[in-house]
Amino acid sequence: MKRDFLALSQYTKDELDALFALTKELKAKQKQGVEHHILKGKSVALIFEKSSTRTRISFEVGVFQLGAHPLFISSATSQMGRGEPIRDTARVMSRYCDGVMIRTYGQEIVEEFAQYATIPVINGLTDLFHPCQIMADLFTVMEQKGSYEGLTVAWVGDGNNMANTWIEAAAILGFDLRLACPRGYEPDKNVMEWALARATSAITITHDPAEAVRGADVVNTDVWASMGQEAEQKVREKAFAGFCVDDALVALAKPDCMVLHCLPAHRGEEIADSVIEGPRSAVWDEAENRLHVQKAIMATLMK
């Protein structure tokens, strides 16, 4: 039976830990120059309805390193952009390819695609979730902290797809999570209800960044206006005043805390230049680990 990777809630703690273990193995092989063509002879379609830097590069390079062939497909230059039904595209691609990654807007798009596809479907980003990024973030935390267990993660900023996925991760894996969001910009209520119904750890929402960050092991943020929200930029700048992850805010966390940002960053808005370039920043390791985590996901689903 095929498995998809649409949201972390589809997976158990043991299954996510197995992906982390494979990520570590594949990263070591890549660093050592050891060939690992687990998907030799296969093809993976990479569908982009949203523009991308890290997602496109990391998936294309990852598919290549696994010995498979990546096919970049833009909705602007395919029949999807002319209104072909998602179910039709899913059925046809299932006859050609061995897996699909989709970076799009609505979560319902990847879910409908997965419903009609007979090959694994990976969520490369939707407005609701960003599971590949959070897996990379957590793997980076494990590399630097040894484990995610017993840690406190602070999220500062918009209750967006990143925040929603952090909530899922905390509920499944059992670390404490504090989210600081401006009023009216809290995470998805359904995601929060799902998490609180099963969480064994503390998952809390506050409107005070200092309260979320104080004593935290990990401090994480993202842009205030995501793709598709550019028209709200000025309004959001006012709403998010005081939510910049600057040196004063980071000083409230543990002395050995690490700072994450999924990129691209608007330096001077949600994060200070001195923080992203500072000694506590793990942003570049985090960006690299997208490659290794996604390889583990593809290898597990498509081998």
The number of folded domains in the chain is 2
CA distance 286 to 36: 22
Look at strands 218-221 and 152-156 and give their pairing: parallel
Same domain flag for 77 and 171: no
Are the beta carbons of 292 and 30 closer than 8 angstroms?
A: yes
Q: What CATH code is carried by the domain that includes residue 91?
A: 3.40.50.1370
Which bin fits 217, alpha (ψ -120 to 50), beta or left (φ > 0)? alpha
Question: Is residue 2 domain-resident?
Answer: no
| One domain for residues 176 and 218 | yes
Which residues fall in the annotated binding site? 52-55, 79, 103, 130-133, 161, 222, 226-227, 262-263, 290
**Residue 61 DSSP symbol:** H
18 shares its domain with 114: yes
- Band (76; pLDDT cuts 50, 70, 90): confident
Same domain, residue pair 49 and 12 = yes
* Token digits of residue 111: 């879910």
Domain range enclosing 44: 8-130+289-302
* pLDDT of the residue at 75: 80
> Is residue 3 one of the residues assigned to a domain?
no
pLDDT band for 180, please (50, 70, 90 cuts).
very high
**What does the pLDDT read at residue 256?**
98
114 and 151 fall within a common domain: no
pLDDT score of 17 = 98
User: Contact at 8 Å (CB) between 22 and 34?
Assistant: no
Same domain membership, residue 238 and residue 201 = yes
The reply to whether omega before 264 is within 30° of 0 (cis) is yes
Cβ–Cβ < 8 Å for 209, 271: no
Q: Which of 146, 147, 164 is nearest to 155 (CA)?
A: 164
Q: Are residues 188 and 278 in the same domain?
A: yes
Q: Helix 161-173 vs helix 131-145: angle between axes, to the nearest 10 degrees?
A: 50
Mean pLDDT of the chain: 96
Catalytic residues: 103, 130, 133, 222, 262, 290
* CA neighbor of 276 nearest in space, from 294, 293, 289, 263: 263
Structure confidence by residue, pLDDT tens digits, 123-134: 999 999 999 999
What does DSSP say about strands 99-103 and 258-261: parallel, antiparallel, or unpaired? unpaired
Binding residue ranges for L-ornithine: 161, 222, 226-227
* Measured CA angle at 59 (ends 268, 96), to 5 deg: 145
Asked if 89 and 155 sit in the same domain, the reply is no
Residue 117 pLDDT greater than 70, yes or no: yes
∠ Cα 185 188 194 (to 5°): 145
Q: Give 188-239 as a DSSP string.
A: PHHHHHHHHHH-SS-EEEES-HHHHHTT-SEEEE--SS-TT-GGGHHHHHHH
202 contacts 176 by C-beta, under 8 angstroms: yes
The pLDDT tens digits for 17-65 are 999 999 999 999 999 999 999 999 999 999 999 989 999 999 999 999 9
Residue 220 backbone dihedrals phi, psi, to 5 degrees:
-130, 145
In angstroms, the first-to-last Cα distance of the chain is: 13
Q: 0.95 exceeded by the pTM?
A: yes
Quick: pLDDT tens for 181-198. Answer: 999 999 999 999 999 999
The separation between CA 200 and the C-alpha centre of its own chain, rounded to angstroms, equals 22
Range 232-244 average pLDDT: 92
Can you give the pLDDT at residue 79?
A: 82
